[in-house]
Amino acid sequence: MMIFVVPSTVLGISLIRYYNNPSLNFIYGSVFIIILAYLGRFGFIASRIIANGLKQIPDTFREAASLMGVHPIKVFFKITVPLLIPSLFAAFILSFILCLGELGVVIMVYPPGAELMNIKLFTVSANAPLALTSTMTLINLALTGLLMVLFFFTGKVLLKKSRNASY
């Protein structure tokens, strides 16, 4: 939770300070650094949503299976994971939306050739004509909207499948 009060620029500087050395260049020079930046910035939100989902699964579900001699790994994949799907999906959507709008950290750490849409937009808005900026903004908005519609329908299917999981 504390990470949320750390300004994005501070997080960006810490990532640079830690990963900007030759032995970790395979992370610092690749898209992994962007993934790490997103994880550091919003990972806790996803983890809180998933943890809440886990809390809602009664212990007796696991206990009933363990009394029958079902292996814990099988219990996890056959009982826990299917019941967690709505929480996993919610965590993914929220993280995705937040990551789309994140600029403070990624602008500091993105490696060459891995410019994200929002970084490009930010750069273009400062240097290019307004028409180009507007077009790119519209494309960005349309892509985001399209993804949201896709998530909405995927979510509906997933929730329909997990409707049996109302416990």
Partner 1 sequence: MHHIELNHISHNYQDKKVLSDFSVLFGKGKTTCLIGPTGCGKTTILRLIAGLEIPSAGIIKVNNKTVSEGGKIIIPPHKRNIGFVFQDLALWPHFTVKDNIAFGLRAKKEKNISNRIGELLDLFHISDKINKYPHQLSGGQKQMVAIARSIVLQPDILLMDEPLASIDTHVKQNILEHVKELQHRLNFTMLYVTHNHREAFHTGDTIVVLNEGRILSEGTKDEIINSSDTFIKSFLET
**How far is residue 23 from each of residues 19, 112, 148, measured CA to CA in Å?**
8, 18, 39
From 5-13, 34-42, 53-61, 136-144, span contacting partner 1 (CB under 8 A): 53-61
- What phi and psi values does residue 166 have, to the nearest 5 degrees? -85, 110
Q: Cβ closer to partner 1: 65 or 121?
A: 65
Binds partner 1 (CB under 8 A): choice among 37, 83, 99, 109: 83
What does the alpha-carbon distance between residue 48 and residue 116 come to, in Å, rounded to a whole number?
Answer: 27
3-state SS, one letter per residue, for 88-105: HHHHHHHHHHHHHHCCCC
H helices then E strands: how many in the chain?
9, 0
**How far is residue 28 from each of residues 32, 111, 151, measured CA to CA in Å?**
7, 7, 31
From 5-13, 16-24, 70-78, 140-148, span contacting partner 1 (CB under 8 A): 70-78
Number of residues that bind partner 1 (CB under 8 A): 23
Residue 88 touches partner 1, criterion: CB under 8 A? no
From 3-11, 57-65, 104-112, 118-126, span contacting partner 1 (CB under 8 A): 57-65
Residue 162 touches partner 1, criterion: CB under 8 A? yes
Residue 78 touches partner 1, criterion: CB under 8 A? yes
Residue 71 touches partner 1, criterion: CB under 8 A? yes
Q: List residues near partner 1 by CB under 8 A.
A: 58, 60-61, 63-71, 74, 78-79, 82-83, 162-167
